[in-house]
């Protein structure tokens, strides 16, 4: 019997190599499991506090509260800010559905706005135009790893007297003029879903803020509305949304590698950018002041579905983030007020390329070659996007 020989050239390129990232930390992650087992402490406790302090410091803020997932982080942040029925919340149409879900779960009305064609993020101009008498908050989404212009959004929301919430679920460690994601808003929300730049080995999330009162309110609301330090005194109707001690330990181990992994992602995207410059496959732009952590490497391509199929046939896994903008999803259609042409057009062209901190230069070359030859097979070229 012959064994098929797998060479580097015929191996599949995974979309995200989480196993490879964990292999680098196998001994430390093993120790975290074992420490949790012998500690006998699984919800709350010192391991959680250690991670919360580490995460707040990393985000350049005073407080972090671990919660069960990123969606809960957003719902709790909005509720703790007092956002609820009768309020409108401004958010981009091009985001993961959880952003919109959180607004509705808090009892508020989502007001979807369009995005910039180069960065696919909200612009300050569009946010300002959408703020009305019922607006209570703006959720800025740091999609694909880069922040929109947070200093300008901060100024605009302060002027209008509305809250600024950062959905930083895709931007762990991203900066704007050197300042970290999470440090601009009244409150910022992170997800530690396994595929995020900092991922748990299960679900997890956090809320970060400089406001001690807000942090205390969120901590209480995430723990059945308990008065802090009391077991059976409940001042508000809360919920159960806590970060497990096990996940906190694993996240503390992985946090030590986050900057290296983000740098490795930047290296991959720089190589993609060099290979794809001047071709019909246009990488989403990064603003000059922004340092992206490249959660995703997104290109806009003509005939996206055909290109994706050709890449799949060559063993290259890609994704689409996101095929339908939130306001066109059945669940959110009733809040659809106007056409949002950039988000709607982009949804048909977006393609997320393989991107892992462990990716080799040879793999990046292979994906780039395959992508360019998929574009060159007589596909009709479409209108080029405006350049930055
Ligand atoms: C992942 C994600 C969320 C939700 O996080 P979960 O932990 O999956 O609940 C929210 N917003 C954005 C932009 C995300 O990418």
Q: Is 199 in the pocket of ligand 1 (CB under 6 A)?
A: no
Q: Are 70 and 193 spatial neighbours (Cβ–Cβ below 8 Å)?
A: yes
Give residue 377's pLDDT: 52
120 Cβ below 6 A of ligand 1: no
Dist. CA 116–CA 148, nearest whole Å: 10
Question: Is the pLDDT at 388 greater than 50, yes or no?
Answer: no
| CB-count burial class (<10 Å; 0-12, 13-18, 19+) for 104 | middle
| Confidence (pLDDT) at 228 | 85
How far is Cα 333 from Cα 325, in angstroms, rounded to an integer?
10
Say how far apart CA 209 and CA 187 lie, in whole Å.
5
CA pair distance 304, 374, nearest whole angstrom: 10
Ligand 1 neighbourhood includes 191 CB (under 6 angstroms):
yes
Provide the 8-state DSSP code for 110. Answer: E
Work out the pLDDT band at 384, boundaries 50, 70, 90: very low
CB of residue 70 inside a 6 A radius of ligand 1: yes
Can you tell me the distance from the alpha carbon of 281 to that of 308, in angstroms, rounded to the nearest whole number? Answer: 12
- 141 pLDDT higher than 50: yes
Confidence (pTM): 0.94
pLDDT above 60 (res 90)? yes
Beta-sheet strands, E only, within 88-174? 88-92, 109-113, 135-141, 163-167
Choose which residue among 67, 96, 165, 197 to substitute to test ligand 1 binding: the one with the highest number of ligand atoms within 8 A of its C-beta: 96
Q: Which of 68, 168, 191 to mutate to test the pocket of ligand 1 (most atoms within 8 A of CB)?
A: 191
Side by side, the strands of the sheet bearing 282-283 are: 282-283, 297-300, 350-353
Q: Which of the four pLDDT bands, split at 50, 70 and 90, describes residue 376?
A: low
Contact 319 CB / ligand 1 (< 6 Å):
no
Per-residue pLDDT, 229: 87
Query: Ligand 1 atom 14: the closest Cα is on which residue?
Result: 169
Tell me: pLDDT of 356 over 50: yes
pLDDT of 382 higher than 60: no
pLDDT digits (tens, 9 = 90+) for 11-69: 699 999 999 999 999 999 999 999 999 999 999 999 999 999 999 999 999 999 999 99
Whole-Å CA distances, 151 to 56, 74, 133, 175, 294:
20, 21, 23, 11, 20
What average pLDDT does this structure show over 176-197?
Answer: 98
In whole angstroms, how far apart are CA 292 and each of 30, 53, 54, 151? 31, 24, 21, 16
Q: Does the C-beta of 170 come closer than 6 Å to ligand 1?
A: yes
91 and 112 in contact (C-beta within 8 Å)?
Answer: yes
What is the Å distance from ligand 1's center to 39 Cα?
30
Read off the pLDDT of residues 285-319 as tens digits, 9 standing for 90 and up.
999 999 999 999 999 999 999 999 999 999 999 99
């Amino acid at each position: 019997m012959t064994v098929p020989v797998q060479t580097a050239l015929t191996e599949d390129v995974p979309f995200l190599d989480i196993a490879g990232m964990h292999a680098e930390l196998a001994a430390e992650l093993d120790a975290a499991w074992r420490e949790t087992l012998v500690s006998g402490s699984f919800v709350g406790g010192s391991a959680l506090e250690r991670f919360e302090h580490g995460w707040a410091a990393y985000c350049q803020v005073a407080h972090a509260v671990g919660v069960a997932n990123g969606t809960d982080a957003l719902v709790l942040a909005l509720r703790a800010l007092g956002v609820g029925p009768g309020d409108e919340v401004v958010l981009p149409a091009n985001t993961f559905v959880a952003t919109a879900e959180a607004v509705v779960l808090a009892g508020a009305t989502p007001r979807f706005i369009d995005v910039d064609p180069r960065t696919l993020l909200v612009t300050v101009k569009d946010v300002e135009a959408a703020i009305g008498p019922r607006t209570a908050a703006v959720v800025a989404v740091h999609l694909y790893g880069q922040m929109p212009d947070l200093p300008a959004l901060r100024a605009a929301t302060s002027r209008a007297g509305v809250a600024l919430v950062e959905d930083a679920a895709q931007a762990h460690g991203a900066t704007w003029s050197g300042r970290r994601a999470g440090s601009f808003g009244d409150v910022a929300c992170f997800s530690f879903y396994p595929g995020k730049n900092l991922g748990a080995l299960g679900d997890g999330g956090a809320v970060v803020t400089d406001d001690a009162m807000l942090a205390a309110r969120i901590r209480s609301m995430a723990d059945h509305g308990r008065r802090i330090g009391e077991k059976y005194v409940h001042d508000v109707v809360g919920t159960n949304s806590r970060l497990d001690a096990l996940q906190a330990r694993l996240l503390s181990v992985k946090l030590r590698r986050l900057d290296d992994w983000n740098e490795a992602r930047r290296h991959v995207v720089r190589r993609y950018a060099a290979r794809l410059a001047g071709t019909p496959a246009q990488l989403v732009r990064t603003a000059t002041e922004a340092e992206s952590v490249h959660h995703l490497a997104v290109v806009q391509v003509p005939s996206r579905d055909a290109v994706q199929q050709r890449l799949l046939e060559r063993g290259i896994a890609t994704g689409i983030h996101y095929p339908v903008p939130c306001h066109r999803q059945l669940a959110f259609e009733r809040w659809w007020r106007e056409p949002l042409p950039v988000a709607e057009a982009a949804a048909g062209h977006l393609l997320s390329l393989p991107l892992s901190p462990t990716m080799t230069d040879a793999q990046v070359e292979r994906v780039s070659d395959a992508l360019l030859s998929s574009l060159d097979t007589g596909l009709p070229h479409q209108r080029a996007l405006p350049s930055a």
